[in-house]
Amino acid sequence: MPDKLSATQIDTSKIRLLTGINPAQALGFAVSYLMTKPAFARLPFGHWSRILVGQINRGHYLIASDNGGIVGFLGWALTTREKGEMWLAEQGELSFEDSKAGEILLINAWASESNEVTHLLLERLREIGRAQKMVYFKRHYPDGRVRPGRLSVNTFVDAHIHAARFGEKFDNSPTP
């Protein structure tokens, strides 16, 4: 298992995204990393295990590694608008089958150690979700509040992807 690194040790040139690895290893990395995060640590074991196993078995995850340590995790589901709205309203959970395809990319796990890791995960997520119509997520706060969110996947996504690939700054300000 990789050692835990502090955010000050992250060298962005060495951050790697681990995907397509052995599912048991991916699950071990995800659990070891996320169990240290308060928003995930307080979740019921069975419920949270089912979500992580589903993400990993579907290949709907990214693990960020830096110098042998896990520094970020992103997990998602692809679902329908109806199922996504149900999830956002906390009126039910998604089954494995509900999470395989649909117009909604639903982020149900995200943690990172630095802005650099967050940007790398976000760049890859834009590529993954560019064919979806919306991105749904819930923001969990330390005081226990939860804020649901919805973002439209629009024409700016392709511009962001292009800018990231070619090292350009993306400017979405209106043209004069």
Summarize pLDDT for 109-118 with one digit per residue, the tens: 999 999 999 9
Q: How far is CA 123 from the centre of its chain?
A: 11
Number of Cβ within 10 Å of residue 129's Cβ equals 20
* Helices 115-129/156-165 angle, 10° precision: 120
d(C-alpha 51, C-alpha 76), whole Å: 9
The reported pLDDT for the residue numbered 158 is 54
Q: What is the dihedral of CA 113, 114, 119, 121, to 10 degrees?
A: -10
Number of Cβ within 10 Å of residue 68's Cβ equals 11
* Domains detected in the chain: 17-165 (3.40.630.30)
d(C-alpha 161, C-alpha 122), whole Å: 10
Summarize pLDDT for 86-145 with one digit per residue, the tens: 999 999 999 999 999 999 999 999 999 999 999 999 989 988 888 899 999 998 887 888
d(C-alpha 63, C-alpha 65), whole Å: 6
- The pLDDT of 13-32, averaged and rounded, is 91
The reported pLDDT for the residue numbered 10 is 45
